[in-house]
Every structure is written in C-alpha cells, then in structure tokens.
Amino acid sequence: MVRASLLHEIKRLDIDIFQAINRRYKKMNLELTPMHAKILLHLASSDKKLCQKDLENLILCNKSTLSSIISTMEKNKLVTRETSKQDSRINYLLLTDRGMEMIDFLKKDKKVIEDNLNEGITEEEYQTFLKIVDKMKKNMERI
C-alpha cells in the first residue's frame, strides 16, 4: 500500500477547514474571514496589548500579509491602531466596539464548528490522532 503524504493531508485539511469557515461567514453576510476571527479572538483573550509583531508570532503570518489583513480589519471597523507612548514605531491593535461585539459570536461559533468537525469521531480515534500528532512533533525535532 502506498501512503499518501501526511504533510499533504494535514495541509489539505487545514485549507478545507479554512474554506468551509469562509463559506459559513459569507452565508451569514459577515465581513469577516477566518483570519480576522483568529486575530479578534487573540486580541480579546490577551491580558496585554498586542502589536503586529506579537500577532505575527501567534498566528504564524508574515509581516506584509498581516499588515494587509489588519488594514482591511481597520476599514471594516473591527480594530484600531494605537501608537505606543514609549516607542512610536510600535502600534498596538485594539478591538473597536464592533470588534468587541463579534467576540461572543465567534466564541460560540468556534464551538459549533469544532463540534461539527469532531462529529462521528470516537474518543479512541481522537486519542489515536493525538498520539500520531505527538509522534510527528517528536519526529520534527530530528529535522
């Protein structure tokens, strides 16, 4: 039996999930992408102000792509930038009132999405998946 590339399958699943969430948001007429949702949730859950560099590390996104995403979010009045008083090169990202209004919805919707994604997966299958992921992480240390 020829094994499919696990890396390919994981990446394909990631893309499929992203596209399904994107379609879901469009059906709901939300001016929101999965990446916007991810950023909003990070901003809401952080106990400190986050700047663009913080988000680059949290969501694993490069500077230019993230800058474009944030500009769109500003245009849609989800976030605003605040210049640091200590260092004018640093801009903190803050949730606007509209962005804050989205947080409860996003938290609830994340649960709905996860429940749908996990449907039909037994506890045993879930534990097996976690073991496989753990093995893959350990294997990555050798690369």
Q: Is residue 117 part of a domain?
A: no
Number of domains making up the chain: 1
Question: Does residue 101 fall inside a structural domain?
Answer: yes
Does 60 map to a domain?
yes
Collapsing DSSP to helix, strand or coil, 142 comes out as coil
Return the pLDDT at 18.
94
Residue 65 lies in a domain: yes
* 1 in a structural domain: no
pLDDT at 4 (0 to 100): 66
Residues 6+ apart with CB under 8 A from 78: 32, 36, 40, 95, 96, 98, 99, 102
What pLDDT shows up at residue 6?
Answer: 85
Residue 31 is predicted with a pLDDT of 87
| Listed residue (25, 33, 91, 81) closest to 59, CA to CA | 33
Cα-only R_g, the chain: 18
| Per-residue confidence in pLDDT tens, the chain, 143 aa | 556 688 889 999 999 999 999 999 999 999 899 999 999 999 999 999 999 989 998 998 899 999 999 999 999 999 999 998 998 889 899 999 999 999 999 999 999 999 999 999 999 999 999 999 999 999 989 98
At residue 13, the pLDDT reads: 94
Query: Which residues span the domain enclosing 45?
Result: 31-107
Residue 130: inside a domain, yes or no? no
pTM over 0.75: yes
Which residues share a beta bridge with 55?
none
Cα pseudo-dihedral 37, 130, 12, 9, rounded to 10: 170
CATH code assigned at 53: 1.10.10.10
51 contacts 91 by C-beta, under 8 angstroms:
yes
Is residue 83 one of the residues assigned to a domain?
Answer: yes
pLDDT of residue 88: 87
